[in-house]
Amino acid sequence: MATPRAPFRALSRTAQLLSHRPAWKCASCRSVARIPRRGVATESKAPPKPYYITTPIFYVNASPHVGHLYTMILADILKRWKVLLGETNARLLTGTDEHGMKIQQAAAEAGMDTQAFCDMNCRTFKDLAKAANIDNDYFIRTTDPAHRDAVQYFWEMLNHRGYIYTAKHEGWYSVSDETFYPQSQVQNSLDPSTGKKRMVSVETGKEVEWSSETNYHFRLSAFQDRLLDLYKNEQQKFITPGKYREEVIQSVSSGLQDLSISRPAGRLNWGIPVPGDDTQTIYVWLDALVNYLTQAGYPFPPGQENQHIWPADVHVVGKDIVRFHCVYWPAFLMALDLPVPRRVLVHGHWTMNQKKMSKSTGNVVNPFFAIDRFGTDTMRFFLAYKGSLSADSDYDNEFILRDYQKRLLGGIGNLSTRLVGCAKRGGWKLPALIRDAKEGRLPTPGTEDRMLQEQLERAPAQVAKYMDQLNSRAALQHIMDLLHETQRLFHLKEPWSNPEPQWTLYNTAEALRISAILLQPFMPTKSLETLQLLGVDTSDPSKRTFSATTYGSDPDYGEGVGVNKVTHLFPRLTSER
């Protein structure tokens, strides 16, 4: 075991990394194209930092499941929402975590070279992002050379500041979770497949084994007070929803132990070596978390510390990795005086028959099969509409069929088809109706029409409020409730037979137009089709931004409605026939 390096050793390494000698070029210099240009030095005010959203980087020891899809969709909705607001430089990062014991073992079991195994499984996650219409700007891999350089530099800085030391470490280690657990966090359990006794993590249920080794440690305990101050800052609301914030506060308040941040290379060789000590491999979670910085251009070149996309505005994570993102990660950043992420959005898991999905029990949902069967926008809608942030959600194909039938085919689909049908049968022209409404030539609206108009006027602001709270589920449900109320009034007024249906028809058209704009982050393709069906000029970006959701703000749409062939936005699914 190598002895800890003296501070001057780390300083020498740092100087080397930041030099511009031809023999070595730092990661940030090599990847300068990835750093957004911020304007010239003579500008009085630099442009705002791009809004930066991330998913976790997904572990490639196995194929993706519907939980990975859900996380991707949540992050993509947030990114598309920012673009809808006019922040067209919003950036979304996803990628794959390719180091650690699980990868090493999975590749060995598959009889494959470890890098080839990572390459193969990495492609499936890229394919999933494409199949789900995820608008990610970056896809990072922890086996990328730039990431290796960033991680080793990050380690050097922690060591230089005195936050790393060597010590013997004993505890219960979970290969599956890639982490040590104290005695208080493990318990006896029976293996359901063999009936044998084993020790498992209380938190995850994964098997643990006793391990004793000498490795490097990070002084996590030094950051307890600063972390608690971060969590308790009500204005920042670092962890959302609040349920998880309270759990983290309780855990950290009970005390923090220093964190083992390396593993003996004899046991784990598939990872990034500790700088200056090839007998140790950097802990996979320290390695993985730095990916968010790597893509931001870390290490930041001198003089350009503020010319990048860091800090992340939102990390989207599942509830099982809260400790890593909300305790370890901000502590690492605090140690180097780097800004912490602004917010961490936590979501629950997807279950099947109220049981956690597991490959061993055969109840894992293949996201590719689901997308092929129901369609991309249907899956995006279902997961966003039913997925819970603060609790787990149960997955069932029958639930998807039910929501498709009720809310898509029988909701927005039926409403749009009937509006167009009324125009076709009634002979009225939507553009003329829109002009009459704008110029005040329609008769005084009835009470119900006036109430719906007021709802339409309030809806965009309410949806924006939910999205600002990172509650995309509530935002989506509010939009669907608005469409449901519109459909109820449409049935009540019977515009197909009512001699004076103008306000009902106009409000229905406006409800569909406004909702379609607001639904773009959730169902990008179907939203665009809805706007096209209404005759909205979708080639004009200003017609599809958040500002266009103001009631009556578009006087020019409706051309061709009732003349062109009616398009069914949501046809019956094959399995329903």
The three-state DSSP-derived secondary structure of 529-577 is HHHHHCCCCCCCHHHHCHHHHCCCCCCCCCCCCCCCCCCCCCCCCHHHC
Looking at 41-45, 176-180, 200-204, 262-266, which range is the least confident one?
Answer: 41-45
Q: How far apart are CA 558 and CA 536, in angstroms?
A: 6
Specify the DSSP element, H or E, that contains 140.
strand 138-141
| Residue 530 lies inside a defined structural domain of this protein | yes
Q: How far apart are CA 326 and CA 237, in angstroms?
A: 12
| pLDDT attached to residue 399 | 95
Q: Which of 349, 375, 396, 399 is nearest to 131 (CA)?
A: 375
Q: How far apart are CA 546 and CA 482, in angstroms?
A: 17
| pLDDT attached to residue 26 | 40
Looking at 39-53, 216-230, 369-383, 557-571, which range is the least confident one?
Answer: 39-53
Give the mean model confidence (pLDDT) for residues 351-367.
79
Confidence of residue 424 (pLDDT cuts 50, 70, 90): confident
Looking at 14-18, 77-81, 376-380, 560-564, which range is the least confident one?
Answer: 14-18
Render the burial of 228-261: b for 16+ CB within 10 Å, e for the rest: eebbeeeeebbbbbeebbebbbeebeeebebbbb
Q: pLDDT tens-digit profile of 173-187? A: 776 666 777 677 778
> What are the C-alpha distances in Å from 197 to residues 190, 287, 398?
5, 33, 37
Cis preceding linkage at 541, omega within 30: no
Q: How far apart are CA 540 and CA 66, in angstroms?
A: 35
Q: How far apart are CA 102 and CA 114, in angstroms?
A: 11
Q: Please, what's the largest Cα pairwise distance for the chain?
A: 90
Q: How far apart are CA 347 and CA 316, in angstroms?
A: 8
Query: Is residue 193 pLDDT above 80, yes or no?
Result: no
| Residue 237 lies inside a defined structural domain of this protein | no
For the chain, percent of residues with pLDDT exceeding 70: 86
| Residue 240 lies inside a defined structural domain of this protein | no
| Residue 522 lies inside a defined structural domain of this protein | yes
| Residue 497 lies inside a defined structural domain of this protein | yes
What CATH number should be reported for the domain holding residue 415?
1.10.730.10
| pLDDT attached to residue 359 | 63
Tell me the three state secondary structure of residue 149: helix
| pLDDT attached to residue 2 | 40
For residue 508, the enclosing domain spans 402-576
Residue 166 φ/ψ, nearest 5 degrees: -100, 145
Give the mean model confidence (pLDDT) for residues 284-294.
97
Q: How far apart are CA 35 and CA 565, in angstroms?
A: 48
Confidence of residue 443 (pLDDT cuts 50, 70, 90): confident
Query: Is residue 287 pLDDT above 80, yes or no?
Result: yes
Looking at 18-22, 97-101, 434-438, 458-462, which range is the least confident one?
Answer: 18-22
| Residue 389 lies inside a defined structural domain of this protein | no
> What are the C-alpha distances in Å from 520 to residues 382, 512, 513, 524?
15, 12, 11, 5
The phi-psi region of residue 575 (left if phi > 0; otherwise alpha if psi is between -120 and 50; otherwise beta) is alpha
Give the mean model confidence (pLDDT) for residues 428-452.
86
List, edge to edge, every strand of the sheet that includes 355-356. Answer: 355-356, 350-352, 393-394
Tally the residues of the chain.
577
Confidence of residue 537 (pLDDT cuts 50, 70, 90): very high
Give the mean model confidence (pLDDT) for residues 563-568.
67
| Residue 515 lies inside a defined structural domain of this protein | yes
Give the mean model confidence (pLDDT) for residues 244-273.
94
Tell me the three state secondary structure of residue 83: helix
What pTM does this model have?
Answer: 0.87
Give the mean model confidence (pLDDT) for residues 257-281.
94
Query: Which residues face 181 on adjacent strands?
Result: 172
Confidence of residue 512 (pLDDT cuts 50, 70, 90): very high
| Domains of the chain: total | 1
Q: How far apart are CA 387 and CA 217, in angstroms?
A: 38
Q: pLDDT tens-digit profile of 50-99? A: 999 999 999 999 899 999 999 999 999 999 999 999 999 999 999 999 99
| pLDDT attached to residue 563 | 60
DSSP 50: P
| Residue 485 lies inside a defined structural domain of this protein | yes
More confident residue, 14 or 98: 98
Looking at 83-87, 206-210, 303-307, 336-340, which range is the least confident one?
Answer: 303-307
Give the mean model confidence (pLDDT) for residues 133-147.
98
H/E/C letters for each residue in 277-334? EEEEEECHHHHHHCHHHHHCCCCCCCCCCCCCCCCCCEEEEEHHHHHHHHHHHHHHHH
Confidence of residue 315 (pLDDT cuts 50, 70, 90): very high
